[in-house]
Structure 1
Amino acid sequence: MKKIIYIISLFTLFASCDYLDVKPVGKVIPEKVTEFRALLTSGYNTVSSYKYLLAFRSDEVIPIGTEDAYAQLIDFAIWNDNSVNMMASYPWSTPYKAIFYANSVIADVMDAEVDTQDDSREQILGEAYLLRAYMHFDLLNLYGIPYNIATAATDKGIPLALKIDIEQSYTRATVEKVYEQIFADIAEGQRLLTVDEQESSILYRFSKKSAKAFEARVRLYHQEWENAMNLAEELLPTCPLEDMTSGAAMEPYNIKSHEAILCLEEWGSRDISRYSQLLPTLQEKYNAENDYRFDMNFTLGDGGKYEPTKGGENSNYKVSIRSAEIYLIAAEAAVHVEGKLEQAKTRLKELLKTRLKKDYYLERAETIDRMSSEELLVEIMNERARELALEGGHRWFDLRRTNRPEIVKVYTDDKETVQSATLMKDDPRYTISLPQEATENNPDLRN
C-alpha cells in the first residue's frame, strides 16, 4: 500500500520520540516514476549550502569587513559553537530532511507505475540510497567523533534515520555503525544504478562514476587504504584534469569544468569573497609566483592582505567531487599500501604537472622523488590544502581525520584590536557540538 508522503515544513529534528517534528502543509501520493523522480529531486534540492563556514573554522580564512558581517562570522572562526551571534549555522535538520525524502523514495518507488522511458525505478532507488549515505557521511564528519580504528566501535556518531517511523526513538549510533550503514547504502545504490555518467545538466544526480568516487572518499576516511587506492585507480582513466599551464584552463571547481564528477551542493558564498582574508597558514603553503592556482583563487586586497576570489558567490561553484580529488585520494592511499610508494609519487606529480610552471614543476618533481613515505604524506596533505582550498569543507575534514593539530589564529577584529584564538591539539572542538535546540528537544542525543 502506498504511504502518504507529506510535503513538510521542517522545524526541529528528533524531538523526544518523533522521526520529525513537522507541520504538514499538503500531501501527495506518488504513484508514477516521474513523481518519484520529482520527490527525489526535492531531496537533492534540500542539501545544505553550508561548507563555506568550514573554511572559517579551519586554518584557511578569517572574517573581515563591516561590524555586522564580522560579528556574524567570527564565532565560526574561533570555534565558539552555539553562539547567539550566529546568523548562519552548521546543518542538522536539513540533512535529515534530505534523508526523509530519500527514505520516502526507498520505501515505495519499486511499486511505481512506469510512465517514462528516460528514467527507471532502479536508477531512482539507487540514487536515493546514495543520497542517504552522502547525508549520513556529512553529518558524521560534522558531529561524530573523528574516526579512530581502535575506538570507533564505541565512539559517538550520529543518529541513523533509515525508515519513516514517527514513533521510533533516535539515539546516537557509534561511529563504526554509521560507517557500516553508509557502506551498505553505497553498495545497494551501486547495485541498482543504471547510468554510467550523468549529463552535464544533471550532474547533481548520482551515477556509477560519482558513486564510485564517493565510495573512494569514504574508504579513505575509513582508512581502508587499499580499497580507496583501487577505487581511485579505476576512476583515473575517466578523470581529466584542467591544464592550467595552457593559459586557458577553466576553474576546475566550476560545474562547467570537465573535472566535475558530482555537482550536488553550493559550497561558495559572498561571505568568503567579501568578508574574509587568507590566514598565513594557507597563504604560506603556496609558491605564489609559480603556482597557477594562487592567482586564479586569490587577489591582493586594499589592506595589503590576500583575499579569496575562489569560493565567492557563484552558482557554478557546486562541484562536490572532481578529478583532482581522485588523484589525491590515489596518492594518499597508495602511500599506506606496501610497495606503492612510487605509484603515490607518480599520481601526485601528474596533478602538479597541470598546476605549476614548468621549471618549478621539475624542481618539485625531483624533490618528491627523494621523499620518504612520511615526507610524502605531509606533502600530499599540503597539496590537498592548496588544491582544495576553501572548497567543500575539505580542509576542516582533513584536519579532523588526520592529526588534529593545534591551530593558533592571530587576527585584527572589527575594532582594529589584535586578538588570538587557539584550538589545542586533539581539542574536543574538532567535533562540532550538537545544536542546543536538538538536544533540548531530544535529551537522548546527549547520551
Structure 2
Amino acid sequence: MKLNKIIFLIACSFLTLAGCNKYLDVKPDQKMLVPKTLADCDALLDNRSTMNSSFSPVPDIASDHYYLTAANFNAIANSEDRNTYVWNPMTELATNHWQAPYKVVLIANQVLTLLNDIDRTVNPTDYDRIKGEALFFRAYSWMQLLNVFTVGYDAAEAKSVLGLVLRLTPDIDYVESRSSLEDSYQQIKRDLQQAVPLLPEKIVIKTRPTKVAALATLARLGLMMGDYVIAEKNAKEALDIYDVLIDYNTLSKTASAPFVRFNNEVIFHAVTFTNACINPTIAKIDSNLIKSYKNDDLRKTLYFKSNNNGTYAFKGRYDGAVNASTFCGIATDELYLTLSEALVRNNKVADAIGNLNKLLRTRYVKDTYLDFNSADRKSVLKEVLDERNKSLIMRNLRWMDMKRLNHDITFQQTFRRIIDNEIYSIEPNDLRYAFLIPKKVIEYNSIIQQNQR
C-alpha cells in the first residue's frame, strides 16, 4: 500500500526519537515511494491508527475518577501499571508513552517539510488545509505529552521549569534537549494559532482537524495556563461555529455503549492505547462521584453500569467502545464547560450560568432540570467545576484538572488510594504530577534531562 511505503521511509526517524542510533544504519529500499505530493501528505495524516490512537492513558490511570480493589490491583501483572495507579515516584513508564505521541509529531514535521517543496498555487485549498492539519496534530500531541511528563503551568516559574523536547523538523542526525515549560506552551499556542485560519470550518471527517478543533484546543490550553481570556475567546469562537449538543433523552439507558463513534458532539476523534487499570471490568467508579448525580440526571444511567454489588463501571465513552482505552478527543460538552469556567473566572457570572444551564438541560430527564442560579461568584465557580468533573469522565482530562486546580488554594486537594490497608497519596503540586521520562529515552539521549524527584 502507498501509505505503508511512505511510513516505512520515515520509520527510521521515528525510532530515533528514543535515541536508538543503530536504526540509522537501516537503509530504506530506494524503490520505495518517496512522499512528495499533497496526496502523499494526506495519506500520512489520515493514518488514524497512528495520528488519532497513539496517546497515553496515564492521565486517566492516575486520576481520581475510579478505584481498584486490592484483589484487582494485585492481579494486574504489569508492575508499571500498578505503580502508575498509586503514583509511585519511581514509576518507569514504557517507552511508547513517550514514543507514540512523538511519532505523531514526527509525521507532522515530515508533512510540513514536504510542503516547503510543493507549489501552493497549484492547489491552495488543500495545501492550506494540510498545513493546518499538520500544525494541529503536532500541537495536540505535545499537549498530551505535557499532561504526562510536565508539572502544572505556573506563569511565575514556567521559564525555569523543564518542558518538552520541541522537535520542529524530521531530521534524524541530531538530538534535542528539553525546552522550558514556558517555551513549550508558547510553541503549542503558535502552532494552533497558525492552524486556525488554514483549517476548514465544516466537520466532515472527525479524525481530521478543523478550525473548531483548533479553537477548542486553544481554549483547553488557556485553562492549562490559567489564561482565561484565551480560554473564553477561543471557546466562544468555536461554539459560534459548532455548538451541537445531544439531548440525552434520545439515548438508550440500557445500551452497553450509549454513545456511538463520531457522535454529534464529537469535534475531533482521538483515543488512548489500552491499559489494564482502566479496563471497565475491574475499574470501579468512585462512590462519591456516583452519589453526586441527582436522580433525574441522565449521566448517571448513560455513563455508568451497575455491577450489581453496589459498585459501578464506566460505559459512557464518547467513541462507542467499551474497552481498556479512553476517548481523548474533543467534544462540545467540554467546550461548554470550558467557556463556563472561563466566563466566571473573568467575572461574567451571569453569562457563565446561562451557558452552564444550556448544557445541563440536555443532560436531565426532559422538563426536570431546574436552572442553576447564584449571585455568588465562588459558588458558581464551584458548581461549574463540579459539573466538569461529572461530565468529563475518562476523557484524559481529569489529571490535567487535578494538576491545574492545585495552583488555586481554594481547590487544592490531597488525593488518596487505599490498597490492603496501605494509604498512597499525592499532595498538591507534587513533583509526581510529572511522570518520569521512560528510562530508555534517557539512556539513548543523555542530553534529555530527567524529571526531578
Q: TM-score scaled by structure 2?
A: 0.83
The partner residue of 1:36 within 34, 41, 49 is 41
Shift of 1:92: 0.3
Structure 1 counterpart of 2:207, which letter? Y
- Flag the 1:19–1:172 CA change in 2: closer, same or farther, 3 A: farther
8 Å Cα contact 1:213/1:231 also seen in 2: yes
Distance in 2 of aligned mates of 1:23 and 1:304: 56
Distance in 2 of aligned mates of 1:197 and 1:297: 28
- Flag the 1:159–1:8 CA change in 2: closer, same or farther, 3 A: same
Partner of 1:255: 261
Distance in 2 of aligned mates of 1:239 and 1:197: 12
Name the stretch that deviates more: 35-44 or 132-141: 35-44
Equivalent pairs counted in the alignment come to: 427
Name the stretch that deviates more: 136-145 or 301-310: 301-310
Name the stretch that deviates more: 323-332 or 350-359: 350-359
The partner residue of 2:397 within 384, 394, 397 is 394
Please give the secondary structure, in 2, of the residue aligned with 1:8: helix
Distance in 1 of aligned mates of 2:209 and 2:384: 28
8 Å Cα contact 2:152/2:404 also seen in 1: yes
Partner of 1:178: 184
Distance in 1 of aligned mates of 2:114 and 2:185: 25
Deviations 1:87-108 (A, max 9, x none): x676101111111111111012
8 Å Cα contact 1:385/1:395 also seen in 2: yes
Shift of 1:387: 0.4
The partner residue of 2:343 within 334, 347, 353 is 334
Name the stretch that deviates more: 171-180 or 42-51: 42-51
Structure 2 counterpart of 1:242, which letter? I
Partner of 2:147: 141
Distance in 2 of aligned mates of 1:22 and 1:141: 34
The partner residue of 1:197 within 199, 202, 224 is 202
Distance in 2 of aligned mates of 1:42 and 1:178: 26
8 Å Cα contact 1:196/1:207 also seen in 2: yes
Distance in 1 of aligned mates of 2:60 and 2:47: 27
Partner of 2:107: 101
- Flag the 1:175–1:419 CA change in 2: closer, same or farther, 3 A: same
Structure 2 counterpart of 1:324, which letter? D
Distance in 1 of aligned mates of 2:291 and 2:330: 25
Structure 1 counterpart of 2:389, which letter? A
- Flag the 1:109–1:74 CA change in 2: closer, same or farther, 3 A: same
Partner of 1:163: 169
- Flag the 1:66–1:149 CA change in 2: closer, same or farther, 3 A: closer
Please give the secondary structure, in 2, of the residue aligned with 1:92: helix
Structure 2 counterpart of 1:167, which letter? D
Shift of 1:14: 4.7
Please give the secondary structure, in 2, of the residue aligned with 1:409: strand
8 Å Cα contact 1:8/1:23 also seen in 2: no
Deviations 1:328-348 (A, max 9, x none): 11100011213x111111111
Shift of 1:245: 3.5
Partner of 1:57: 62
- Flag the 1:24–1:275 CA change in 2: closer, same or farther, 3 A: farther
- Flag the 1:188–1:5 CA change in 2: closer, same or farther, 3 A: farther
- In structure 2, the gaps of 5 or more residues are 1-5, 407-411
Please give the secondary structure, in 2, of the residue aligned with 1:422: strand
- Flag the 1:150–1:239 CA change in 2: closer, same or farther, 3 A: same
Partner of 1:382: 386
Structure 2 counterpart of 1:243, which letter? D
Distance in 2 of aligned mates of 1:184 and 1:284: 42
The partner residue of 1:224 within 222, 227, 242 is 227
Distance in 1 of aligned mates of 2:111 and 2:25: 18
Deviations 1:306-352 (A, max 9, x none): 122234536997561111011111100011213x1111111111111
Distance in 2 of aligned mates of 1:316 and 1:141: 17
Distance in 1 of aligned mates of 2:187 and 2:130: 19
Name the stretch that deviates more: 422-431 or 7-16: 7-16
Partner of 1:349: 357
Please give the secondary structure, in 1, of the residue aligned with 2:262: coil
Distance in 2 of aligned mates of 1:375 and 1:14: 47
Partner of 2:409: none
Task: Find out whether 1:276 has 2:283 as its counterpart.
Answer: yes
8 Å Cα contact 1:103/1:163 also seen in 2: yes
Shift of 1:67: 5.3
Partner of 1:121: 127
- Flag the 1:205–1:402 CA change in 2: closer, same or farther, 3 A: same
Distance in 2 of aligned mates of 1:22 and 1:210: 39
- Flag the 1:66–1:397 CA change in 2: closer, same or farther, 3 A: closer
8 Å Cα contact 1:260/1:321 also seen in 2: yes
Partner of 2:316: 310
CA RMSD of aligned residues (A): 3.4
Please give the secondary structure, in 2, of the residue aligned with 1:153: helix
8 Å Cα contact 1:219/1:228 also seen in 2: yes
Distance in 1 of aligned mates of 2:387 and 2:381: 10
8 Å Cα contact 1:242/1:354 also seen in 2: yes
The partner residue of 2:427 within 416, 424, 427 is 424
Please give the secondary structure, in 2, of the residue aligned with 1:307: strand
8 Å Cα contact 2:54/2:101 also seen in 1: no
Partner of 1:414: none
Distance in 2 of aligned mates of 1:293 and 1:268: 24
The partner residue of 2:238 within 235, 240, 256 is 235
